[in-house]
Structures are given as C-alpha cells and as structure tokens.
Amino acid sequence: MNKVKLALVGLDGNAFSLMGAFSSAARKQGWKKADIDKVTADCMSGDYDHLLCVLMDNTIDPEDFEEEYDEDEEYDDPTIANK
C-alpha cells in the first residue's frame, strides 16, 4: 500500500480533523475504503500519540516525496547513472 501524500504539519491538531484530512486525501489518491477504514480504526485504538504515529506511518509530506524521488537530482554514488 502506498503512502498518502499529505502534509500533517499545519493541519488542525484535532484527532478527528487529522483523520478526516487523511481519509479525504487517501480517497482522492485512489485508496480503497477498506484500507482507509483500517488506518482510521488503528488511529482510534490508542491515545493521541498513537494516532499521530499511525498517520505518520501512512503518510508522506508531498515536499519530502518530491525531494526523495527527484529524477533530476545528481547523486554522489558512482553506481547510479546521472542524466
């Protein structure tokens, strides 16, 4: 299962707002309802810190995603061919 591209930083810190933002972004990115429900159920199975950990495990900040997978980035590793 791919991670949902969602910046958690800057969102309303209310637990239900965070889960709603996750659910909405996941739906828009093609996640199945059952997979979304599994994550939100896991979020609710513990305290607030657990909720944050679950969401962080299932999301990636769009800025981090672009940095991590930037095709034009040059690498110091000589085994990786630069374009």
pLDDT at 46 over 50: yes
Token output for 22: 């996750």
pLDDT tens-digit series, residues 12-38: 999 999 999 999 999 999 999 999 999
pLDDT at 78 over 80: no
Number of domains in the chain: 1
Q: Is residue 79 part of a domain?
A: no
- Can you tell me the mean pLDDT for 5-13? 93
> Which domain does 28 fall in, by range?
4-68
Cα dihedral sign, 39-59-71-81 = negative
Q: Is residue 28 part of a domain?
A: yes
Q: Is residue 64 part of a domain?
A: yes
pLDDT value of position 63: 83
Q: Is residue 27 part of a domain?
A: yes
pLDDT band per the 50, 70, 90 thresholds, residue 67: low
Token output for 71: 């095709």
pLDDT value of position 82: 42
Closest CA to 43 of 24, 28, 58, 27: 58
Token output for 25: 């972004």
pLDDT value of position 80: 45
